[in-house]
Amino acid sequence: MKEKNTERVSIKSLLETLKDIFRLSLPYKKRFFSAILLVVVGSAIWLTVPLGLRSLLDAVFEQENYALLNKLSLGLIGLFLTQAIFTFGGNYHIEWVGERVITDLRNSIYAHLQKLSFSFFANRRLGELTSRLSNDVGSIRVALTDSLPQVVTISITMIGSVGLMVVLNWRLSLVIFLTVPIVTIATRYFGKKIRSLSKNVQDKLADTTAIAEETLGAIRVVKSFTREEYEISRYRQATEELFSTSRHKIILTQVFWAGVGLMFMGTLVMIFWYGGREVLSGRLTAGDLVAFIVYALNISRSVGQASRLYTAVNSAAGASERLFELQQEKPENELLPINKQGYTRKSIKGTVQFEHLYFSYEDGKNVLDDLNFEINEGQTVALVGASGAGKTTLLNLIPRFFTPTKGEIRVDGVSIEDWDLYNLRSFISIVPQETHLFGTSIYENIRYGKLDAAKAEIEQAAIDANAHEFITQMSDGYHSLIGERGVKLSGGQRQRIAIARALLRNPSILLLDEATSSLDSVSERQVQQALERLMENRTTLVIAHRLSTIQHADCILVLENGVLVESGTHEALLYKEGVYAHLHEMQFSEKVSS
């Protein structure tokens, strides 16, 4: 009983998935249904071919009429030509709709991914998402462009062939009718198992893609630790697991096909045997027998195609389920517990208030604990503390990459939960420690801060960021390609490009996450000068590992395990001889000893 319920659920789930797949073609329904009509006409014409063959053979063997033989031969050629034209037109337009739907789907999935929350990406592997975008989307194409014409053709061919076979000889038709239910039961049984294996194959494929993405994206780390062989081994293990799962699917599929083929070949022999007896007894002409055999072959081929189609659609459905699950993930703005409109402004002063702020990634483990402080318009406030103190997490809460567990953050007196998300972020720029640049030109990377910026604005931003000089010394200047993640640039050059991008955006609130911590002294000086220009007249919250870079901050906040333990100016905190003074003394002594 449990097995039957599972099977019903599986078939229902498959049908629902297919509905979701075919619903994608609705924007092109006129072309789609026109294509279906063409395929229907082509399939109907094909059903008349055996009747033409019957007449042709009877004209030869029964009537010995050469004139009729010539006319029937020409008529059959005309039928074949007409059928080919209709089938070509139908299949072309269905293929067109399929490719158009896949293009739309890729764009839709990518746009949907862009609108998902930062926390969604924090819990997913990049390779898995790119696999969904490429491999899983491709699987839907199979269901749309390959399967649909076959569904129409198979349906018409089987229904028409069965009807005409019954008309020709109902007794001989029983031989076929005994075979079809067995194949149908086998198809349902094997299809369910193949579908499950297909989902596993897609999961394994996503794993291999994720490993490749991670490794190639961190190739500098791989080579610096000489872990090439380790990564090769890790990828090989994943691909071998993929091969093993695929092999099981292949075995199951081929066993199924071999069984179906054997069954229908046996059925064909029975038709020859019984049909020959009918001809010899005078109840069937030779033309009738040939026509019957052709219809039987049509049914055999159609059932075989239906079985193959069922397994193919199961594979497509298994892959597409993950894709539709991804589409059901709520966009970032729909997760927010606020009215749809949101609060918007054309400009802001940039005051930021933190009121009894708590945050945890896991229940019961607070990363930030009851923070209360305010950053006034144009102030520079620095965050100091050991690794894991919650500094970066605090920065991520301001643009709402994450939502506070409890408490509130206000910008210009308005809770950030009341702001329109994209309007709020339009006033904020972030310069992280690990700068991410795109693998395009320097010009395009800077322009990312303001897409409609003029060339003069982009160059001025580069000048203010101390980047113009090294840019103009490159072979193609601003149009020089910088490689994946800016691999052709030094750390200091990448940071200055990022600062130029932030300058071009002209934010009211600036968030700096240890922007100079990984640089040498010369690069740090150049970047620090650029940052000082960037920070002018802007509310700035800066995380700094090197305390020498924040001595002139208006206020320094010291965090320990998510708790604000000290606050004040550089001089005031040194005078307190507390946590900050201890950190400063440690860094100063390290500097002297080095």
Residue 529 pLDDT class (50, 70, 90 cuts): confident
Given a cut of 60, is residue 461 above it in pLDDT?
yes
What average pLDDT does the segment 210-226 reach?
Answer: 69
What pLDDT score was predicted for residue 17?
Answer: 61
Q: What superfamily does domain 348-427+539-594 belong to in CATH?
A: P-loop containing nucleotide triphosphate hydrolases (3.40.50.300)
What average pLDDT does the segment 476-497 reach?
Answer: 83
Q: Where in the chain is the domain with CATH 1.20.1560.10?
A: 2-333
What pLDDT score was predicted for residue 187?
Answer: 65
Helices (H), 123-169: 126-131, 137-141, 148-168
> Six-digit token pair at 434?
């690990």
Quick: pLDDT tens for 173-198: 776 666 667 766 766 677 667 767 77
Helix axes 29-58, 286-327, angle to 10 degrees: 160
Q: 2-333 sits in which CATH class? A: mainly alpha
What pLDDT score was predicted for residue 355?
Answer: 92
What would you measure as the largest C-alpha separation in the chain, in angstroms?
A: 120
What average pLDDT does the segment 491-502 reach?
Answer: 85
Beta-carbon neighbour count of residue 242 at 10 Å?
19
What average pLDDT does the segment 68-91 reach?
Answer: 81
Question: In sequence order, what E strands does 116-258 have?
Answer: none
Beta-carbon neighbour count of residue 186 at 10 Å?
15
**Range of weakest confidence among 71-75, 246-250, 565-569:** 71-75
What average pLDDT does the segment 47-74 reach?
Answer: 72
What average pLDDT does the segment 498-522 reach?
Answer: 78
Question: In sequence order, what E strands does 385-508 have?
Answer: 406-411, 414-415, 428-431
Q: Tell whether the torsion through CA atoms of 335, 336, 337 and 342 is positive or negative.
A: negative
What average pLDDT does the segment 60-72 reach?
Answer: 69
Amino acid present at 90: G
Q: Got the DSSP string for 384-413?
A: E-STTSSHHHHHHHTTTSS--SEEEEEETT
Residue 223 pLDDT class (50, 70, 90 cuts): low
CA distances in angstroms from 129 to 20, 87, 214, 317, 371, listed in the order given: 20, 37, 12, 18, 36
What average pLDDT does the segment 262-271 reach?
Answer: 72
What pLDDT score was predicted for residue 410?
Answer: 92
**Range of weakest confidence among 73-87, 120-134, 421-435:** 120-134
Q: What is the pTM of this model?
A: 0.68
* Average pLDDT along the chain: 78
> Six-digit token pair at 180?
């079809």
What pLDDT score was predicted for residue 144?
Answer: 67
What average pLDDT does the segment 346-370 reach?
Answer: 86
Quick: pLDDT tens for 537-562: 889 898 877 777 788 888 999 998 88
Beta-carbon neighbour count of residue 277 at 10 Å?
12
Q: Which of 37-41, 430-434, 517-521 has the highest mean pLDDT?
A: 37-41
Beta-carbon neighbour count of residue 264 at 10 Å?
21
Contacts 24+ apart (CB under 8 A), 17-24: 17/317, 17/320, 17/321, 17/324, 18/143, 18/313, 18/317, 20/320, 20/324, 21/140, 21/143, 21/144, 21/316, 21/317, 21/320, 22/143, 22/144, 22/148, 24/101, 24/104, 24/105, 24/140, 24/144
C-beta separation of 415 from 408 below 8 A: yes
CA distance 545 to 433: 11
Residue 79 pLDDT class (50, 70, 90 cuts): confident
Q: Which of 161-175, 272-286, 413-427, 483-497 has the highest mean pLDDT?
A: 413-427
Q: Where in the chain is the domain with CATH 3.40.50.300?
A: 348-427+539-594
> Six-digit token pair at 531?
């940052």
Given a cut of 50, is residue 7 above it in pLDDT?
no
C-beta separation of 290 from 58 below 8 A: no
Q: Which residues pair with 359 in a beta bridge?
A: 368
What average pLDDT does the segment 423-445 reach?
Answer: 85
- Residue (of 43, 57, 65) closest to 291 by Cα position: 57
